[in-house]
């Protein structure tokens, strides 16, 4: 099954019909282009009475099985990573040895990827091409342009993929944030210009397609985070995703305004801030103190940002909740603020974490219970999706990055915006965009691989 020069195909192996482990393929003229190669969030753990989480014997790292493309890797022209979230970049160190193709990505994402590859001794084997927004690259028969869009991480990109058979717009994860605080913004003109050229299909993020309105801008969170911090009598610990560099910038402002020192607890946070500095997206005024010093400061002078907002084992917040963190021991009157929302499936683990914090006399403020917004989603709600369809005006809408419910609602929105056709499918389905839009079900075998004891294993 090989696309010829009249064909323009889309074949997702992961991330369509689910949220996580994105792995997309575009096919034209005998070759394939891979977009993203991510891991998935492990299926929910079961919390037992003592607060520990049992993973039902499943490997903690899981990803899409790339067998379809690994079997024809001479036809794989390259791999583009749209941004540095784990569900887009996380599987590269595990799967690259099966693919062995050049990788194209933005500066910040390249920094994150290099750190991952170094742990696998792959750093000097993987050719990484750093591409700026508005630049173009020819990758096999595909002419790809990187477009500036906003998300909850620095340097996200959308892609315009041009071929002689037709053009594709691949949105990646996005929102419309007029004040993203860090990195490039977006301009509607970028997307309106695509409509003039003609877009055969738009492959687009469905995560929040069921949410009415417009996502919250990163820039409005400072008020809420300041309010949640300023009356705290003791330490303030903020749990958030380390990759959200804009959020760390806002927290640094809050620390300055409240006379606190900010430190980072948890390996992924320290990793992310290092990558942000190396990529030039860290604000030089945002000073961090050595986390080992946090425990020696007066309590009211501490603002620590910690990993573990999802209740994951071995993260800084879990360790503090169990009084086993080497640097910080929480006391009654300290306050933990969740500047993150629960990823579906993690609720039980988060509840258990909150219970053990409260048992120590620690105050807890969640994003749901805060008076003002202290968390913003990185994905487009309905008004943003409508705006994008009106700008790009594709002939075909292909909802991805969602469960069936999100993708169904997304297709309805596209229709209401005047898009003549939507193609709804799931991993392993072949979406034929050219010559004639249509579907062939389950042309590629799909599955899930896990990483266990240093090797890839099939997850059933």
Q: Say whether 404 sits in a helix, a strand or coil.
A: helix
> Least distance (Å) from Zn ion to the CB of residue 259?
34
Q: Considering only 84-92, 225-233, 402-410, 436-444, which stretch makes contact with Zn ion by CB under 5 A?
A: 84-92
Token output for 13: 């192996």
Q: CA-CA distances (angstroms) from residue 274 to 10, 237, 270, 434?
A: 36, 20, 6, 44
Q: Considering only 25-33, 78-86, 318-326, 385-393, which stretch makes contact with Zn ion by CB under 5 A?
A: 78-86
* CA–CA gap between residue 7 and residue 434 (Å, rounded): 5
> Least distance (Å) from Zn ion to the CB of residue 311?
20
The answer to whether the CB of 363 falls within 8 A of the CB of 332 is: no
The binder of Zn ion chosen from 7, 87, 218, 286 (CB under 5 A): 87
Nearer CB in complex with Zn ion: 85/318: 85
Nearer CB in complex with Zn ion: 157/167: 157
Q: Considering only 79-87, 177-185, 237-245, 415-423, which stretch makes contact with Zn ion by CB under 5 A?
A: 79-87
The binder of Zn ion chosen from 85, 184, 247, 325 (CB under 5 A): 85
* CA–CA gap between residue 384 and residue 386 (Å, rounded): 5
> Least distance (Å) from Zn ion to the CB of residue 328?
29
> Least distance (Å) from Zn ion to the CB of residue 34?
15
Between β-strands 430-434 and 438-440, what pairing exists: parallel, antiparallel or unpaired? antiparallel
Q: Mask: binding to Zn ion, 168-197, rule CB under 5 A, as x and -?
A: -----x------------------------
Token output for 363: 């105050």
> Least distance (Å) from Zn ion to the CB of residue 215?
13
Nearer CB in complex with Zn ion: 330/398: 398
17-21 long-range CB contacts below 8 Å, 24 or more apart?
Answer: 17/402, 17/403, 17/404, 17/407, 17/425, 17/426, 17/427, 18/403, 18/427, 19/87, 19/207, 19/401, 19/402, 19/403, 20/87, 21/62, 21/63, 21/64, 21/87, 21/91, 21/448
> Least distance (Å) from Zn ion to the CB of residue 240?
14
The answer to whether the CB of 419 falls within 8 A of the CB of 388 is: no
**Residue 16 CB neighbour total at 10 angstroms:** 29
Cis geometry, peptide bond prior to residue 249 (ω within 30 degrees of 0)? no
Between β-strands 396-400 and 128-130, what pairing exists: parallel, antiparallel or unpaired? unpaired
Nearer CB in complex with Zn ion: 87/111: 87
> Least distance (Å) from Zn ion to the CB of residue 36?
8
375 contacts Zn ion (rule: CB under 5 A): no
Q: What is the size of the binding site for Zn ion (CB under 5 A)? A: 3
Q: Considering only 4-12, 85-93, 213-221, 231-239, which stretch makes contact with Zn ion by CB under 5 A?
A: 85-93
**Residue 453 CB neighbour total at 10 angstroms:** 6
Nearer CB in complex with Zn ion: 176/330: 176
Token output for 128: 């990484």
Q: CA-CA distances (angstroms) from residue 198 to 133, 141, 171?
A: 20, 18, 15
Nearer CB in complex with Zn ion: 27/154: 154
Nearer CB in complex with Zn ion: 82/382: 82
Nearer CB in complex with Zn ion: 85/162: 85
- Write out the residues near Zn ion by the rule CB under 5 A: 85, 87, 173
């Amino acid at each position: 099954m090989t696309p010829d020069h009249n064909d323009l195909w889309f074949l997702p192996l992961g991330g369509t019909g689910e949220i996580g482990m994105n792995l997309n393929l575009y096919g034209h003229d005998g070759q394939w282009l891979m977009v993203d190669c991510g891991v998935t969030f492990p299926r929910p753990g079961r919390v037992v009475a003592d607060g520990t989480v049992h993973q039902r014997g499943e490997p903690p790292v899981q990803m899409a099985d790339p067998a379809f493309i690994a079997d024809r890797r001479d036809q794989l022209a390259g791999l583009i990573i749209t941004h540095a979230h784990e569900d887009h970049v996380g599987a590269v160190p595990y799967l690259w040895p099966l693919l062995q193709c050049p990788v194209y990505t933005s500066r910040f994402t390249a920094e994150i990827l290099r750190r991952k590859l170094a742990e696998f001794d792959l750093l000097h084997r993987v050719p990484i091409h750093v591409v700026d927004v508005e630049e173009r690259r020819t990758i096999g028969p595909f002419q790809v342009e990187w477009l500036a869009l906003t998300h909850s991480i620095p340097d996200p990109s959308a892609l315009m993929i041009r071929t002689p058979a037709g053009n594709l717009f691949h949105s990646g994860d996005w929102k419309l944030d007029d004040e993203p605080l860090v990195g490039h913004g977006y301009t509607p003109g970028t997307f309106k210009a695509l409509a003039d050229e003609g877009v055969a299909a738009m492959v687009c993020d469905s995560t929040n397609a069921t949410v009415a309105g417009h996502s919250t801008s990163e820039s409005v969170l400072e008020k809420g985070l300041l309010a949640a911090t300023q009356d705290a009598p003791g330490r303030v610990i903020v749990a958030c995703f380390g990759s959200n560099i804009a959020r760390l910038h806002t927290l640094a402002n809050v620390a300055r305004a409240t006379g606190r020192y900010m430190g980072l607890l948890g390996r992924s946070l320290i990793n992310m801030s290092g990558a942000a500095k190396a990529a030039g997206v860290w604000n030089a005024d945002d000073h961090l103190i050595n986390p080992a010093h946090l425990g020696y400061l007066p309590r009211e002078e501490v603002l620590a940002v910690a990993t573990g907002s999802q209740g994951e084992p071995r993260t800084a917040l879990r360790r503090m909740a169990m009084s086993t963190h080497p640097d910080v021991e929480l006391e009654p009157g300290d306050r933990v603020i969740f500047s993150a929302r629960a990823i579906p499936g993690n609720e039980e683990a988060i509840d258990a974490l909150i219970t053990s914090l409260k048992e120590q006399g620690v105050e807890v403020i969640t994003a749901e219970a805060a008076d003002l917004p202290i968390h913003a989603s990185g994905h487009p709600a309905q008004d943003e999706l409508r705006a994008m369809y009106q700008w790009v005006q594709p002939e075909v809408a292909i909802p991805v990055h969602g469960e069936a419910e999100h993708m169904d609602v997304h297709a309805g929105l596209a229709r209401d915006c005047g898009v003549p056709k939507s193609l709804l499918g799931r991993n392993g389905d072949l979406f034929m965009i050219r010559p004639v839009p249509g579907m062939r079900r389950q042309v590629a075998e799909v599955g899930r691989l896990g990483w266990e004891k240093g090797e890839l294993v099939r997850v059933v």
